[in-house]
Amino acid sequence: QQQVKQSPQSLIVQKGGISIINCAYENTAFDYFPWYQQFPGKGPALLIAIRPDVSEKKEGRFTISFNKSAKQFSLHIMDSQPGDSATYFCAASRSGNKLVFGAGTILRVKS
């Protein structure tokens, strides 16, 4: 019940295209859903986060879409750039308890 399943494992997108990464969860008590970005040799960095009281949150080129009934949330990267090439992790937590991370998606943006 604590798992967060992330897909795809890897993704190749052309520069200027839209990158979409999906996550699904089972625990309906989860109330915080962040996305982290990790570059090689670095620790993850918080990108954007959402709570279940809204269906979408946008920050610059990054958007989280949240579907509470389907227990799914996704990250959309608009106008993808080579500098966006990194590993992306979704995560979830309940009431301030520990974050449960997905397995990660390796994104490569081709120039």
Partner 1 sequence: EAGVAQSPRYKIIEKRQSVAFWCNPISGHATLYWYQQILGQGPKLLIQFQNNGVVDDSQLPKDRFSAERLKGVDSTLKIQPAKLEDSAVYLCASSFGRVNEKLFFGSGTQLSVL
* 96 lines the binding site for partner 1 (CB under 8 A): yes
Q: Exposed, middle or buried by CB within 10 Å (0-12, 13-18, 19+), for 74?
A: middle
Verify binding: residue 29, partner 1, rule CB under 8 A.
no
Which residue lies nearer to partner 1 by CB, 12 or 45?
A: 45
Strand partners, 56: 65
Binding range to partner 1, per CB under 8 A, among 14-22, 45-53, 55-63, 71-79: 45-53
Read off the tokens for 98: 């520990």
When binding is defined by CB under 8 A, the residue of 52, 81, 101, 108 that contacts partner 1 is: 101
Question: Judged by CB under 8 A, does residue 97 bind partner 1?
Answer: yes
Q: With beta carbons less than 8 A apart as the criterion, state whether 57 and 73 touch.
A: no
Q: CA 5 from chain center: how many Å?
A: 11
Cα–Cα nearest to 32, from 85, 108, 90:
90
42 binds partner 1 (CB under 8 A): yes
83 makes contact with partner 1 (CB under 8 A): no
One of 62, 63, 93, 109 touching partner 1 (CB under 8 A) = 93
